[in-house]
A = this chain, B = another copy of it.
Amino acid sequence: MNKSELDTPYVLIDLDAVDRNIARMQDIADRAGVSLRPHVKTHKLPVLAHKQIEAGAVGVTVAKLGEAEVMAAGGVRDILIAYPIVGKQKLDRLIRLAKHVNVTVAVDSFAAAEAISVAAMEANMTIGVLVEFDCGFRRVGLEAGVPVLELAMQLVQLPGIEIKGIMTFGGQAYQAADEAELRRIGREEGQAAADTAELLNDEGIAADIVSAGSSPGSQYTAFVQGVTEIRPGTYIFGDLMQVALGAQLLEDCALTVKVTVVSRPAPGRAVIDAGTKVFTSDGAASPIGTGKGYVVGHPGIKLAWMSEEHGMLELGENERSLAIGDTLEIIPVHCCAVMNMVDEVAAVRGEEIEAFWEVQGRGKSR
C-alpha cells in the first residue's frame, strides 16, 4: 500500500530516517564507551525498542509502569522505570513485572524506597534501584552530592532492594540558547553524575550504573569520564525542538503528520484537518520560522496556530495555489507527544507502507 492512499490525519514514520537515527546515537554511545538505554516514551512501540536493542542498546527506559508492561509484553527483557513508584496498586504491578523481566526503578525518597523494600520482601525478591538526583532541571531528584549519599546510606540498609547506581536528567538542555550552552549543560550533567557516584563509591556503596543524558545533551554527556549510561529518547524520530537545538537535521526527522487542506477561506489562509488533538500544544513556535510545524517541501507555508481539530496555515505568495483536497506532510514541534495522540501509525519506506503499528504504549500514564 502506498502512503498516498491513507486518509488523514495520519502519523507516518520514515523507517530509513529511524535507521539512521538509531545508528547515529548508538555510534555516540559506542565511541564514548557507555551503554545506551533509550527512553521509549518517544515511540511507545516494542517493535522499535527491539530495533534499538539489536543495534546495541542494553535495554530501555520508560516513565510509567504501564509503558513497562507494554514493553515487557512485547518481549523487552531489561527495563529501567525512570519514575517514582508510589502506592499499593503500582507496587503490586511492579512485583508482577519484576518476576519476568529485569526491572530497575528510580528512587528519590526513603518513603518510596521503603515501600518497594516491603513489597519486594513479601515477594521474596530483590528490586534494583537507581538513586535519582537533580542536576538543574528542578523536577524530581535530590540535590547532587551529599543528599544523594545520605539517602543511599539509608537505602543500603533496606532489605529487598539493591542500589545499582545513580541517575539524573538534564532536561534544562531543552532551554539551551545555543550549541555552546548545550555542550556546557551536557557536560555539567555528566560531571555531576560522575562526582556523585564517586562520593557513593568512596563510602563503599557501589554505584555501578551512572546514568544521564538527554537527546540533545547525550553527545556531550556520554564523553564525561565516569558516566556509564545515556538515556536519550527523542532522537529516534527527531522533531523541531531537536532541530532548533542543533541536535538533529531536519531531513532526519522521521515522524510526520499527513494532513489534508479542508478549507481555503482567504487567499493567504488554508486550514488543515489536524490541530492540537494530533500535534498537541507542546512547545514554543519553532524558531526555524515555520510556526508550530514544518511543512515538508513548502518553506513558504507557516503553521500559524491551531485549535483542537484545525490547523491554520499562512501561505506565502508562492503557495497560494494550495487547494482543498491537497495533502501535506508536517514535522511537529514535539514528536513524543504526537505519538501519544494516535492509536496507530504507518511505517513507511519511501512511498510504500511497510507496516501499520498500534501505538501500544499510548495513554499509559498509570
The answer, among B109, B264, B281, B323, for a CB contact under 8 Å with A263, is B109
Whether, in the assembled complex, A365 has its beta carbon less than 8 Å from a beta carbon of chain B, the answer is yes
Q: Which one of A19-27, A79-87, A116-124, A180-188 is at the B interface?
A: A79-87
Is A366 part of the binding interface, using a Cβ–Cβ cutoff of 8 Å?
yes
Chain B neighbourhood of A342, CB < 8 A: 363, 365
Whether the Cβ atoms of A365 and B111 lie closer than 8 Å is no
Of B90, B139, B365, which contacts A277 at CB under 8 A? B365
**Cα-based distance from A7 to B88 in the complex (angstroms):** 9
Q: In the complex, which residues 324-351 of chain A have their Cβ closer than 8 Å to any Cβ of chain B?
A: 324-325, 336-337, 340-343
Total contacting residues, chain A, CB less than 8 A: 59
Within residues 130 to 152 of chain A, which ones have a CB less than 8 A from any CB in chain B? 134, 138-142
- Asked whether A366 lies within 8 Å of B323 as measured between CB atoms, the reply is no
- Set B141, B262, B271, B274: member contacting A365, Cβ < 8 A: B274
**Given the complex, which residues of B lie within 8 Å of A307, measured CB to CB?**
139, 171
The answer to whether A265 and B309 touch (CB under 8 A), given A87-B325, A281-B282, A366-B7, is: no
Q: Are A112 and B324 in contact (CB under 8 A)?
A: yes
Distance, CA A112 to CA B271, complexed state (A): 13
Kindly state the separation between the CA atoms of A41 and B171 in the bound complex, as whole angstroms: 34
A189 to B161, CA, bound (A): 63
Known: A265-B142, A271-B140, A363-B341. A86 touches B9 (CB 8 A): no
* A28–chain B nearest beta-carbon distance, Å: 23
**Contact partners of A266 in chain B: CB under 8 A:** 138
Q: Is the CB of B140 within 8 A of A84?
A: no
On whether the beta carbons of A282 and B276 are closer than 8 Å, the reply is: yes
Closest CB of chain B to A260's CB: distance in Å?
Answer: 6
CA distance A12 to B348 in the complex (A): 39
Interface flags, A218-241, vs B, CB<8A=1, else 0: 000000000000000000000000
**Distance A134 CA – B266 CA, assembled complex (angstroms):** 11
Pick the residue among B141, B308, B309, B365 that contacts A309 (CB under 8 A): B365
